[in-house]
Amino acid sequence: MKPEIETNLEIDTKMHVNKLFTLVFLKKNKSVLLGLKTRGLGKGFWNGFGGKVEKNETVMDCAKRELKEECNLEAKDLKQIGVVRYDLLHDNSSDVVHIFTCTQFEGVEKPSEEMNPIQWYKFRAIPFTQMWPDSPHWYPYMLDEKYFSARITYSDENTIKGSSIQVYNNLSNVLKIAE
Ligand SMILES: Nc1nc2c([nH]c(=O)n2[C@H]2C[C@H](O)[C@@H](COP(=O)(O)OP(=O)(O)OP(=O)(O)O)O2)c(=O)[nH]1
Protein backbone atom coordinates (compact mmCIF):
# COMPACT_ATOMS: atom_id res chain seq x y z
CA MET A 1 0.00 0.00 0.00
CA LYS A 2 1.50 3.31 -0.99
CA PRO A 3 -1.18 5.95 -1.41
CA GLU A 4 0.09 9.44 -2.06
CA ILE A 5 -1.82 11.63 0.35
CA GLU A 6 -0.72 15.09 -0.49
CA THR A 7 1.65 16.28 -3.19
CA ASN A 8 2.51 19.77 -3.98
CA LEU A 9 6.24 19.46 -4.37
CA GLU A 10 7.44 21.61 -7.24
CA ILE A 11 11.02 20.49 -7.29
CA ASP A 12 12.69 17.21 -6.64
CA THR A 13 15.99 18.25 -5.18
CA LYS A 14 18.74 15.73 -4.53
CA MET A 15 20.27 17.52 -1.65
CA HIS A 16 22.75 15.97 0.67
CA VAL A 17 21.29 14.81 3.98
CA ASN A 18 23.13 16.94 6.43
CA LYS A 19 21.95 15.96 9.86
CA LEU A 20 19.84 13.30 11.54
CA PHE A 21 17.41 14.16 14.31
CA THR A 22 14.78 12.43 16.45
CA LEU A 23 11.44 13.61 17.78
CA VAL A 24 9.35 11.74 20.38
CA PHE A 25 5.64 12.14 21.13
CA LEU A 26 4.32 10.73 24.41
CA LYS A 27 0.62 9.91 24.40
CA LYS A 28 -1.92 9.52 27.23
CA ASN A 29 -5.74 9.75 27.16
CA LYS A 30 -5.87 11.20 23.62
CA SER A 31 -3.36 13.87 24.65
CA VAL A 32 0.24 14.42 23.62
CA LEU A 33 3.06 15.90 25.71
CA LEU A 34 4.74 18.93 24.13
CA GLY A 35 7.42 21.32 25.35
CA LEU A 36 8.11 24.94 24.51
CA LYS A 37 11.63 25.17 23.06
CA THR A 38 13.66 27.78 24.88
CA ARG A 39 16.73 27.96 22.60
CA GLY A 40 18.32 27.12 19.26
CA LEU A 41 16.47 25.59 16.32
CA GLY A 42 12.71 26.04 16.74
CA LYS A 43 12.99 28.43 19.70
CA GLY A 44 9.52 29.64 20.78
CA PHE A 45 7.73 26.68 19.15
CA TRP A 46 5.90 23.83 20.91
CA ASN A 47 7.36 20.51 19.85
CA GLY A 48 7.94 16.91 20.84
CA PHE A 49 11.23 15.95 22.50
CA GLY A 50 14.35 15.12 20.55
CA GLY A 51 17.61 16.27 19.05
CA LYS A 52 20.63 15.40 16.98
CA VAL A 53 21.73 11.79 16.64
CA GLU A 54 25.26 11.52 17.96
CA LYS A 55 28.11 9.45 16.52
CA ASN A 56 27.87 5.74 17.43
CA GLU A 57 24.26 6.13 18.57
CA THR A 58 21.18 4.56 16.97
CA VAL A 59 18.14 6.74 16.28
CA MET A 60 16.29 4.71 18.96
CA ASP A 61 19.04 5.36 21.54
CA CYS A 62 19.00 9.05 20.65
CA ALA A 63 15.21 9.22 21.02
CA LYS A 64 15.41 7.66 24.53
CA ARG A 65 18.31 9.85 25.60
CA GLU A 66 16.77 13.13 24.41
CA LEU A 67 13.42 12.28 26.00
CA LYS A 68 15.09 11.71 29.37
CA GLU A 69 17.23 14.88 29.03
CA GLU A 70 14.35 17.12 27.97
CA CYS A 71 11.41 15.99 30.16
CA ASN A 72 12.88 13.48 32.61
CA LEU A 73 10.79 10.52 31.41
CA GLU A 74 11.98 7.06 30.45
CA ALA A 75 10.37 5.55 27.36
CA LYS A 76 9.28 1.92 27.65
CA ASP A 77 7.62 1.28 24.27
CA LEU A 78 9.07 3.64 21.70
CA LYS A 79 7.58 3.03 18.27
CA GLN A 80 9.16 4.43 15.13
CA ILE A 81 6.20 5.80 13.18
CA GLY A 82 7.53 8.17 10.54
CA VAL A 83 10.27 10.15 8.92
CA VAL A 84 10.17 13.79 7.92
CA ARG A 85 12.73 15.00 5.44
CA TYR A 86 13.28 18.74 5.28
CA ASP A 87 14.86 20.13 2.12
CA LEU A 88 16.14 23.57 3.03
CA LEU A 89 16.67 25.50 -0.20
CA HIS A 90 18.07 28.55 1.60
CA ASP A 91 20.74 26.35 3.17
CA ASN A 92 21.21 23.90 0.30
CA SER A 93 20.92 21.03 2.76
CA SER A 94 18.47 18.44 4.05
CA ASP A 95 17.64 17.44 7.61
CA VAL A 96 16.00 14.12 8.39
CA VAL A 97 13.90 13.74 11.53
CA HIS A 98 12.87 10.26 12.76
CA ILE A 99 9.49 10.42 14.50
CA PHE A 100 8.58 8.15 17.43
CA THR A 101 5.47 7.68 19.53
CA CYS A 102 5.33 6.19 23.02
CA THR A 103 2.48 5.24 25.36
CA GLN A 104 4.40 3.53 28.18
CA PHE A 105 6.86 5.62 30.14
CA GLU A 106 8.20 5.95 33.67
CA GLY A 107 9.28 8.80 35.91
CA VAL A 108 8.00 12.19 36.91
CA GLU A 109 7.69 14.63 34.01
CA LYS A 110 9.77 17.75 34.51
CA PRO A 111 10.62 20.72 32.28
CA SER A 112 14.28 21.18 31.36
CA GLU A 113 16.54 24.03 30.36
CA GLU A 114 15.70 23.33 26.69
CA MET A 115 11.94 22.58 26.99
CA ASN A 116 10.03 24.77 29.43
CA PRO A 117 7.15 24.65 30.15
CA ILE A 118 5.90 21.20 29.15
CA GLN A 119 2.21 20.52 28.76
CA TRP A 120 -0.28 17.81 27.74
CA TYR A 121 -2.43 18.88 24.77
CA LYS A 122 -5.59 17.11 23.64
CA PHE A 123 -5.25 15.75 20.07
CA ARG A 124 -8.03 18.15 19.02
CA ALA A 125 -6.30 21.19 20.59
CA ILE A 126 -2.71 21.08 19.33
CA PRO A 127 -1.26 24.65 19.29
CA PHE A 128 -0.38 24.63 15.57
CA THR A 129 -0.07 28.43 15.36
CA GLN A 130 2.90 28.24 17.73
CA MET A 131 4.67 25.37 16.00
CA TRP A 132 6.86 24.70 12.96
CA PRO A 133 4.64 25.53 9.96
CA ASP A 134 4.89 21.99 8.55
CA SER A 135 3.41 20.39 11.70
CA PRO A 136 -0.25 20.35 10.54
CA HIS A 137 0.81 18.44 7.39
CA TRP A 138 1.94 15.30 9.21
CA TYR A 139 0.73 15.42 12.84
CA PRO A 140 -2.61 13.79 11.92
CA TYR A 141 -0.78 10.62 10.80
CA MET A 142 1.47 10.59 13.86
CA LEU A 143 -1.54 11.07 16.17
CA ASP A 144 -3.40 8.31 14.34
CA GLU A 145 -0.41 5.88 14.56
CA LYS A 146 -0.13 5.61 10.77
CA TYR A 147 3.31 4.88 9.33
CA PHE A 148 4.17 7.86 7.15
CA SER A 149 6.94 9.69 5.37
CA ALA A 150 6.86 13.38 4.65
CA ARG A 151 9.06 15.53 2.51
CA ILE A 152 8.85 19.25 3.14
CA THR A 153 10.65 21.89 1.11
CA TYR A 154 11.33 25.22 2.78
CA SER A 155 12.43 28.18 0.63
CA ASP A 156 13.33 30.15 3.73
CA GLU A 157 13.04 29.48 7.45
CA ASN A 158 9.30 30.21 7.55
CA THR A 159 8.04 29.43 4.06
CA ILE A 160 6.97 26.01 2.82
CA LYS A 161 7.45 25.72 -0.93
CA GLY A 162 6.07 22.22 -1.26
CA SER A 163 5.19 19.05 0.58
CA SER A 164 4.59 15.39 -0.13
CA ILE A 165 3.25 12.85 2.34
CA GLN A 166 2.80 9.11 2.00
CA VAL A 167 1.31 6.55 4.37
CA TYR A 168 2.33 2.90 4.53
CA ASN A 169 1.31 -0.26 6.31
CA ASN A 170 4.81 -1.01 7.60
CA LEU A 171 7.98 0.76 8.65
CA SER A 172 10.46 -0.43 6.03
CA ASN A 173 9.11 1.75 3.23
CA VAL A 174 9.01 4.74 5.54
CA LEU A 175 12.74 4.52 6.13
CA LYS A 176 13.63 4.72 2.42
CA ILE A 177 13.10 8.48 2.44
CA ALA A 178 15.90 8.82 4.97
CA GLU A 179 18.48 7.08 2.74
N1 LIG B 1 16.56 20.10 11.90
C2 LIG B 1 15.27 20.29 12.06
N3 LIG B 1 14.72 19.81 13.18
C4 LIG B 1 13.42 19.98 13.32
C5 LIG B 1 12.63 20.62 12.35
N6 LIG B 1 11.36 20.57 12.77
C7 LIG B 1 11.36 19.92 13.95
O8 LIG B 1 10.37 19.67 14.64
N9 LIG B 1 12.64 19.58 14.29
C10 LIG B 1 13.01 18.93 15.56
C11 LIG B 1 13.93 17.78 15.46
C12 LIG B 1 14.69 17.86 16.78
O13 LIG B 1 13.96 17.17 17.78
C14 LIG B 1 14.71 19.34 17.12
C15 LIG B 1 15.99 20.04 16.77
O16 LIG B 1 17.03 19.47 17.48
P17 LIG B 1 18.01 20.36 18.41
O18 LIG B 1 18.66 21.40 17.59
O19 LIG B 1 17.26 20.79 19.61
O20 LIG B 1 19.05 19.26 18.79
P21 LIG B 1 19.84 19.06 20.14
O22 LIG B 1 18.87 18.94 21.31
O23 LIG B 1 20.76 17.91 19.91
O24 LIG B 1 20.59 20.41 20.20
P25 LIG B 1 21.36 21.17 21.34
O26 LIG B 1 20.53 22.42 21.55
O27 LIG B 1 21.38 20.26 22.56
O28 LIG B 1 22.68 21.42 20.73
O29 LIG B 1 13.65 19.92 16.36
C30 LIG B 1 13.24 21.14 11.20
O31 LIG B 1 12.62 21.75 10.32
N32 LIG B 1 14.57 20.94 11.07
At 113-172, the pLDDT tens digits run: 999 999 999 999 999 999 999 999 999 999 999 999 999 999 998 899 999 999 999 998
What was the pLDDT predicted at 117? 98
Ligand 1 atom closest to Cα of 42?
A: 29
What was the pLDDT predicted at 38? 98
Write down the pTM of the prediction: 0.91
Which long-range contacts (C-beta less than 8 Å, at least 24 apart) are formed by 59-64? 59/20, 59/22, 59/98, 60/100, 62/22, 63/22, 63/23, 63/24, 63/98, 63/100
Mean pLDDT for 11-23 is 74
Residue bearing the bigger pLDDT, 41 or 165 = 165
Ligand 1 — pocket residues by CB below 6 A? 21-23, 40-42, 47, 50-52, 86, 95, 97, 132
What region, left, alpha or beta, does residue 56 occupy, with left being phi > 0 and alpha being psi -120 to 50 degrees?
left
Q: Is the pLDDT confidence value at 179 over 80? A: no
% residues pLDDT > 90 (the chain):
80
Ligand 1 atom closest to Cα of 48?
A: 13
Q: Is the pLDDT confidence value at 27 over 80? A: yes
Ligand 1 centroid – CA 50 distance (Å)? 7
Lowest mean pLDDT among 24-28, 35-39, 86-90, 103-107: 86-90
What is the predicted ipTM? 0.91
